[in-house]
Amino acid sequence: MAIGTIEEKERSGLRLDKLGIIIAALAAYGAFLAPFATFKANRIVQGEAKAIWEALPTALGYGLLALVSLAAILAFVKSSVSVRVAAALATLVALCLLIGIAADSLTPPGSSYARVSPASGFWLLVFAFALLLADALTRLNPGPGVRVLLLVGILALLGAMLASGHWDGLSIMREYASRAASFRAEAGRHLTLALGSLAAAAAIGLPLGILCHRVDRLRAGVLGVLNAIQTIPSLALFGILIAPLGWIAAQVPGAAAIGIRGIGVAPAFVALFLYSLLPMVANTVVGLAGVPHAANDAARGLGMTDRQRLVAIEFPLAFPVILAGIRIVLVQNIGLATIAALIGGGGFGVFVFQGIGQTAMDLVLLGAVPTVVLAFVAAIVLDALVEATRGRGKVQ
Amino acid sequence: MPSLATLLRLAALLVLLAFFLQPAWFEPLLRPLVQANAPAIYDRGNLFWLTMLHLRTVFVATLAAALVAVSLAILVTREAGAEFLPLSRSLVNIGQTFPPVAVLALAVPIFGFGEKPTLIALFLYGLLPIFENALTGLTTLPPAVMEAARGAGMTERQRLFKIELPLALPVILTGIRLSVVISLATATIGSTVAARTLGEVIIAGLQSNNLAFVLQGGLIVAVLAVLIHDALQGLERALAGRAHV
């Protein structure tokens, strides 16, 4: 019977893709049944849902429906990978362009109160075709360099969209327009928190990891303490640190002058640093433990000192694992830095929590979207780096 | 003779219970942390009740996440779902980059304030570690065992329930443990969208500048996380030991 099915499959020219069926179903629902955009007369009132053909000028609306249907059919049948990439990219670009046009065409001329935001249908379509793109790319399995190039291309496209003002009619961009200066300040603070605490954790965590690798008795204790820190909820750790830092600021001369304060950036920075230590130390230990004995023996045979061995042999061999630790820390810190807003530490969390407080979801998005994009970019770039260093290690 | 570590955990549990039953005993410890007239013990709700609500939220979210994640992992490791395996791997990778706060914030417009967005965020965030571990467990089974099961004439269904799942169970449990520990801490953030968890205590402390509240909320969650983590780890070891026999 099994042989029969294989022959049958080969005979029929049109084979269906299982994932394509899901994508086509999502796309059909998103395009025909769910609203494409939400129109609100002002920021507070209940929105009106608009379908694709209501939100867009007639020709463009039906054009989008046709494009989505075509791309869904291409996903549905077993088409070649490059066709799928092209279909997914074309649909995604069209969606990005048309949501901007929808904002302009729905907003009454001259109105500065009206708000247009993407609705569930738009997000579903983006999700469906991003899924198609992700699947096609996974099948292509591009190398780290290609992945980073692709990311740069997509970011450039998004940057061009933002710079051209094509999206300025969308509510999230209106929230941005009224807060451009504070957005830049909070973005800077978010990056400072995430990257600064990473740098501090690397500066302390690497030596600590090397020490733990060399001194067995230290290892269990240090890792135990760092593990325990991870169990304290971030919200609480940020809060608990307010007290000791406030005390230091009051008691140690000069501490307040360099920015140490009970509330604000200092406790957030220290909390992120403490959370970052475990992945740094643990990955350093694991990486060093994974260095083959033969490599160390050969180095010893060559008469290398402990320090030379560490710099020339152990560290380069352990580097991919340490880099994987840095990846974990960076992605985690970008996410956790949002909580800093609750203790006055700033960052994108300011907009998220303000938005939650005012039930203004566009404001929430203004904080959440950059955070997600940042974490996503960091993950892709560092994953590519990890893979590149691993590959190089193997060649040598 | 129980080890020192076990005794320490028992002591932590007893202190926690004592704190719920007789919070007044702990007042002298927490008093120095607050201003003269402020309460040192959380007085805007029952701490034990909040802890139970917190645990319920985590339990419901993790149970749902475990059911869905394990089913998905089973699906993509069957022949019929093999097409989804590479994609599901990259989705797990991508999903893990979404910060919990962002997931929570994005769930609010769809599900409103309260417990629902928290449950959704915890569910989505809990899926990933369990799915990843279930996948690892189901794809790294010893080939000899699988071959023997096939040779013994077991159907695919029998192999799944009698061989694959029991062998993968310790690894799946590790995923559930990771997920529970993350959820216990993340649930506190749910209180920023009005979910009733121990986060309420911490946020009340942050808002009224009451360090004692922050410490209480934080330490209860931390002690719970350590105890639950160790209990699940003990369970894993017991199961892994049985599997080896």
Residue B196's domain spans which residues?
4-9+45-244
Query: What DSSP line would sit under A175-195, residue for residue?
Result: HHHTTHHHHHHHHHHHHHHHH
Enumerate the residues of chain B whose CB falls inside 8 A of the CB of residue A85.
none
Q: Is B40 on the interface with A (CB under 8 A)?
A: no
Nearest CA in chain A to B81: A18
Cβ-nearest to A239 among B184, B205, B225: B205
**The Cα angle at residue A179 between residues A176 and A182, in degrees rounded to 5:** 120
- What are the two backbone dihedrals, phi and then psi, of residue A142, each rounded to the nearest 5 degrees? -70, 155
Q: How far is CA A195 from CA A15, A166, A253, A266, B125, in A?
A: 48, 31, 27, 14, 24
pLDDT in tens, A30-55: 999 999 998 988 777 778 888 998 88
Q: Give me the residue label for tokens 């996903």.
A: A75
Least confident of B54-58, B98-102, B139-143: B98-102
What is the mean predicted confidence (pLDDT) over A231-248?
80
The Cα-based distances of A299 to A323, A379, B214 in angstroms read: 23, 34, 52
Considering the domain boundaries, does residue B60 fall inside one? yes
How close is the nearest chain A Cα to the Cα of B214, in Å?
A: 6
**Inter-chain touch B105–A356, beta carbons under 8 Å:** yes
Chain A residues touching B83 at Cβ < 8 A: 17-19
* CATH number, span A180-395: 1.10.3720.10
Tokens of A222: 């240090």
pLDDT above 90 coverage of chain A, percent: 44
User: What pLDDT is attached to residue A7?
Assistant: 43
Q: How high is the pLDDT of residue A6?
A: 44
What pLDDT sits at residue A5? 44
Mean pLDDT of B12-29: 86
- The partner residue sitting opposite A368, judged by closest CB among B102, B192, B225, is B102
Query: What pLDDT, in 10s, does the model give residues B72-128?
Result: 999 999 888 888 888 888 887 787 788 888 888 888 877 878 888 899 889 988 888
According to the model, what pLDDT value does residue A385 have? 93
Contact B202 A131 (CB under 8 A): no
Q: Per residue in A257-277, pLDDT tens? A: 666 666 778 888 999 999 999
B100 interface with A at CB cutoff 8 Å: yes
- What is the pLDDT confidence band of residue A330, given thresholds at 50, 70 and 90? very high
Structural domains counted in chain B = 1
CB contact under 8 A, A372 and B98: yes
Query: What letter does residue B40 receive in the DSSP assignment?
Result: S
Instruction: Give the pLDDT band (50/70/90) at residue A189.
Output: very high
The pLDDT tens digits for A66-110 are: 999 999 999 888 888 889 999 999 999 999 999 999 988 888 877
Choose the closest CB to A240 out of B84, B109, B218: B218
Q: Is the pLDDT reported for residue A3 higher than 70?
A: no
- CB atoms < 10 A from the CB of A39, how many? 22
Give me the total of CB pairs closer than 8 Å, taking one residue from chain A and one from chain B: 143
Looking at residue A246, what is its pLDDT? 74
Distance, in Å, from the CA atom of A103 to the CA atom of A105, rounded to the nearest integer, reads 6
Residue B220: pLDDT over 80: yes
Answer yes or no: is B148 within a domain: yes
Inter-chain CB proximity A235 and B189 less than 8 Å: yes
To probe the interface with A, which of B101, B106, B179 has the most A CB atoms within 10 Å? Answer: B101
> Taking CB atoms and an 8 Å cutoff, what residues of chain B touch A278?
none
For residue B96, the domain's CATH number is 1.10.3720.10
pLDDT of residue B2: 67
More confident: A19 or A250: A19
Strand partners of residue A77 = A16
Element housing A50 (H / E):
strand A48-50
Residue B5 exposed, middle or buried by CB count within 10 Å (0-12, 13-18, 19+): exposed
| Bigger pLDDT: B106 vs B188 | B188
**Are A315 and A211 a contacting pair, CB within 8 Å?**
no
| CB contacts, 8 Å: A339 with chain B | 101, 189
Domain-located, residue B195: yes
The Cα–Cα gap between A96 and A101 comes to 9
The answer, yes or no, to whether residue A11 has pLDDT greater than 50, is no
Q: Please, what is the Cα angle at A326 between A320 and A327, to 5 degrees?
A: 90
- Cα–Cα distances in Å, from A317 out to A15, A202, A234, A388, A396? 46, 17, 33, 13, 10
Q: What is the domain partition of chain A in residue ranges?
A: 11-171, 180-395
Contact (CB, 8 A) for A132 and A75? yes
Using DSSP, state whether B59 is helix, strand or coil. helix
> Any chain A CB within 8 A of the CB of B217?
yes
d(CA B24, CA A37): 55
Q: What is the mean pLDDT of residues A242-270?
A: 75
pLDDT band at A4 (very low <50, low <70, confident <90, very high): very low
Place of tokens 């920075």: A269
What is the predicted pLDDT for the residue at B243? 58
CB contact under 8 A, A134 and B91: yes
pLDDT, chain A, mean: 86
**pLDDT, averaged across chain B:** 86
- CA–CA dist A284, A281 (Å, integer): 5
A231, A365, A366: best mutation site toward chain B, by most B Cβ within 10 Å?
A: A231
> Tell me, what's the pLDDT at A8?
44
**pLDDT above 70 for A296:** yes
Q: Is B231 on the interface with A (CB under 8 A)?
A: no
pLDDT score for A396: 38
A335 contacts B98? CB cut-off 8 A: yes
Q: Which residues pair with A38 in a beta bridge?
A: A49, A117
Write out chain A residues lying below 8 Å of B199, CB-based: 233, 235
Neighbours of A147 (CB within 10 A): 17
Kindly indicate whether the ipTM for this predicted assembly is greater than 0.95, answering yes or no: no
Q: Which of A341-345, B62-66, B170-174 has the highest mean pLDDT?
A: B62-66
* pLDDT recorded at residue A2: 43
| B137 domain-assigned | yes
HEC sequence for A104-168: HHHCCCCCCCCEEEECHHHHHHHHHHHHHHHHHHHHHCCCHHHHHHHHHHHHHHHHHHHHHCCCC
